[in-house]
Copies of this chain bind each other. A is one copy, B any other.
Amino acid sequence: MTPAAIASLSAKILDALGGVLGPAPVALHEPSFFGNEWLYLKQCLDSTFVSSVGEFVDRFENELAAYTGANYAVAVVNGTAALHIALQLAGVRAGDEVLVPTLTFIATANAVAYCGATPHFVDSDIRTFGVDPEKLRSYLDAQTEQRDGQCVNSSTGRPIRALVPVHTFGHPAAIEDLMAVARDFGLAVVEDAAESLGSFYRGKHTGTFGQLGALSFNGNKIITSGGGGAILTNDKELARRAKHLTTTAKRAHAWHYNHDQIGYNYRMPNLNAALGCAQLEQLPTMRAQKRALFDRYVQAFAGIEGVEIAAEPPECESNYWLQTLVLDADRASCRDVVLELSNTAGYMTRPVWGLLNSSEPYRHCPAMNLQSAEFLAHCLINIPSSAYLVGPRREQA
């Protein structure tokens, strides 16, 4: 593009953003509290049970299981902790490799590293932003061998233990096809559903396809518990072990202390669960608001050639957690100008994360050809996505 064309397109994009968002400043994503948030926090405080045990933790876990359709949900301190424990329970051990998309937040890879394992980076599909199942299958065919029933990286000789599909920005990955690849190569599947609470693939909630799934309730997510996460599973024994590992692996006893393995202090405090319970009640409303915001963006950008708003994949319902501008390949050169202009104007926008295979801690890790992720890294812009942009922000009490 010529500088003039870049300037012209960037101005149109800024104009369209302004039309949807109104007066600046507008943050990328902020929570809204218009339900029972204050009531439950107050109940929690009045009970004096604000910490490691309490009725809100049990209730949050039960309600998360009911909403997602998972048999079990175990509330933890954040999404990173959920992934860490889910990977351990999926059998990931020191010296293993774990297949992780290069296009994701760094926590996905960090959780692998916490297990002493090495992320092995795989490419994304340019439509879903999730791991590309066909490309993954071809790669594993060429790059791995089965030894004693274990998938092994032919180059490094290390076991490839698991695959971590990410439901990027809330849009479901091609999870059924990915499950088939994992089955054929003997890989465990831990879904990183940190961004996709409220997103469904063919009517089934994301995070419930793999042996385990991880949710996040960080402040920037569709609902928040301040800090928080959860492990989803349909397996009773995995759920029991998840609870045990995240509560310092202490065997139950009224007063004796007896820990049977190296556990973690990863449980969600009751105070955070109280906020989570109130937010979960609002999830259907937030989903509807985010879908309405998507519609507004689609309308606003309809007349701008070469720019689209990322839509949910076919047969999927996305929670539209983070709205995303997709620039055509030949218009990607205006990304940085759009970022500069919009942030200067007070509309917070963001490129996708830096690709993990280029990040300092992980640049020596194994990786397939990452052509599509590299393409996406240059043409995506996340734009303001708070549900309150089409609804109330907080209780009008």
Contact = CB atoms under 8 A, between A and B. Distances in A.
B343 A254 contact: yes
A269 B49 CA distance: 18
A247 B248 CA distance: 23
Could you say how many copies of this chain the assembly holds? 2
A106 B257 contact: yes
Contacts of A353: 257
Contacts of A31: 48, 50-51
Interface in A66-116: 77-81, 105-107, 110, 113, 116
Contacts of A259: 106, 354, 359-361
A393 interface: yes
A261 interface: yes
Nearest to A217: B51
Nearest to A38: B45
Given A227-B269, A343-B255, A42 B50 contact: no
A16 interface: no
Contacts of A260: 360-361
A339 B253 CA distance: 12
B360 A265 contact: no
Interface string A339-364: 10001000011111110000111000
Chain A, interface residues (CB within 8 Å), range: 35 or more
B248 A349 contact: no
B48 A262 contact: no
B48 A42 contact: no
A14 to B, nearest CB: 15
Contacts of A77: 77-78, 227
Interface string A250-285: 100011111111111101111110010000000000
Contacts of A219: 49-52, 269-270
A346 B41 CA distance: 28
Interface in A23-48: 30-33, 37-38, 41-42, 45-46, 48
A-B pairs with the 3 shortest C-beta distances? A51-B219, A226-B271, A226-B269
